[in-house]
Every structure is written in structure tokens, then in C-alpha cells.
Chains A and B, each alone.
Chain A
Amino acid sequence: SAVISQKPSRDICQRGTSLTIQCQVDSQVTMMFWYRQQPGQSLTLIATANQGSEATYESGFVIDKFPISRPNLTFSTLTVSNMSPEDSSIYLCSGSGRGRDNEQFFGPGTRLTVL
């Protein structure tokens, strides 16, 4: 496996603003993913972060709202744009390609509250 760090760990933001979350892996991974977890819910995949190209977004998520970058094999960012209270969630970064099957290992998450 690998170790993933994420920052910030938590933030409280005002509606209409944007927040960029950083995800750093301590070694190269094949795939990186961004998830949203709304309170009391399971994980929902936002997008797959592709190195050097546009991310692949899941249904219901768009690049204008959640722009993602992945400049290399160990780093990615997710921006939550023009935030509203409905964006209050835990945002999780994960990586895969170093374990069995498609095992994903996760960062500690970013707990976002939008007022």
C-alpha cells in the first residue's frame, strides 16, 4: 500500500467561495480517485483523476463545479467551486495500483462545512 496525505483536514467556508483540496501520495500510483461522502451516507465517486489530462467525471458531477488536476503520479487537487451548504461533506482522495485487485487506500479526508 501507500500513504496518502490530504489537506486541509477540515475547513469552514462561506457560500459562494471555492476551496482546493490537495492529495499527496508517498509513492506512484496508477489511479487516483475523488469521492464525496455526505453526512450519514456512503461514498460517491466524483471523478477519476488522470495524469496530465482531464479527469473522468461520474454522472451528476461536472468540471466547472469540481475541477481536478493531476500533474504527476503522486499528486492531485480537487476544487469545490461556488460552494453552497449542500456541498458540506467529507471529501476523500484514494489511490490504487499498488495492492491486490483494485484495492484502494485512502487519505484521511477533508471535512468541509459550508455556511
Chain B
Amino acid sequence: AQKITQTQPGMFVQEKEAVTLDCTYDTSDPSYGLFWYKQPSSGEMIFLIYQGSYDQQNATEGRYSLNFQKARKSANLVISASQLGDSAMYFCAMSTSNYQLIWGAGTKLIIKP
């Protein structure tokens, strides 16, 4: 069965430090995509970064990078030089063959000044 696991319910990080949010996945499909979304307290879901299963290089978008380890089935999000505005819920998701996304439980990230 397809599944996304986020094992960190919450994290506290000092401002300006780098932070890694864990995500592991399980699928038997050879082709899939992995996504990270940010949800601030306002409730909107903001797309951050995407990694395709056949992509040779790890995805990067500004301060966000995705540490994709296919053999380990992990897709960790790395945020460099964290900022107070990074405090939010972060969700990992995986695409399926029926156009839907499977979602992890989320990690609540709090950046301390």
C-alpha cells in the first residue's frame, strides 16, 4: 500500500540554523512524484518543492532543498538559514496513479528567535 510517513510531530529550531524535516514513503509504482507543502497558521497550503522519481539531481528552490534517497525511500526537506516566518506545519505528499496525492501527518516547525 502507498504511504507517507513523517515521524517528527514537532520541531524547535533556533533562527538561522538549518533544519531537516523527515519524510519516508512506500510505493510499488516505478513513477511517482514527491511534494512538500507549507501550511502557516492562516490555513493556506503553499507548494514548496517537487522531486520526480526519475530525477537524477535533488530538487532545490531557494532556501529549500529536497534530499532524495531513492534506495531508502526518503525525501527529506532541508531549509537553510531558517527564519521566523518558516514557523508552520509542513506536509510531505506523494502522487498516485489516479491523480491524487497521499499525505503525511505533518511536522509542526517552530523557529525560536
Q: Which residues of A contact B (CB under 8 A)?
A: 1, 30-31, 33, 37, 41-43, 45, 48, 90, 92, 94, 96, 99-109, 111
Chain A min CB distance to B6 (Å): 9
Chain B min CB distance to A49 (Å): 12
Chain A min CB distance to B52 (Å): 6
B106–A42 CB distance below 8 A: yes
B100–A100 CB distance below 8 A: no
A103–B100 CB distance below 8 A: no
Of chain B, the residue at the smallest CB distance from A31 is: B99
Can you report 7 residue pairs joining A to B where beta carbons are below 8 Å apart? A1-B47, A42-B104, A90-B43, A96-B99, A100-B33, A103-B35, A106-B44
* Interface residue from A45, A105, A106 paired with B100 (Cβ < 8 Å): A45
* Cα distance A28–B91 in the bound complex, in angstroms: 26
* Interface residue from B43, B45, B50, B101 paired with A100 (Cβ < 8 Å): B50
Binary per-residue interface labels of chain B (70-113) against chain A in the complex, 1 for a CB within 8 Å, 0 otherwise: 00000000000000000000010001100111011110000000
* Cα distance A106–B2 in the bound complex, in angstroms: 23
Q: Which residues of B contact A (CB under 8 A)?
A: 32-33, 35, 37, 42-47, 50, 52, 91, 95-96, 99-101, 103-106
* Cα distance A43–B92 in the bound complex, in angstroms: 11
Q: A42-B91, A42-B103, A42-B106 are in contact. Are A103 and B43 (CB under 8 A)?
A: no
Which residues of chain B are within 8 angstroms of A45 by Cβ–Cβ distance?
A: 100
Of chain B, the residue at the smallest CB distance from A100 is: B50
Chain B min CB distance to A48 (Å): 7
Cβ-closest 3 pairs across A and B: A101-B33, A106-B45, A102-B95
Q: A42-B103, A45-B100 are in contact. Are A105 and B47 (CB under 8 A)?
A: yes
Of chain B, the residue at the smallest CB distance from A107 is: B44
Chain A min CB distance to B108 (Å): 9
B50–A109 CB distance below 8 A: no
Which residues of chain A are within 8 angstroms of B96 by Cβ–Cβ distance?
A: 102
Which residues of chain A are within 8 angstroms of B91 by Cβ–Cβ distance?
A: 42-43
Chain A min CB distance to B1 (Å): 14
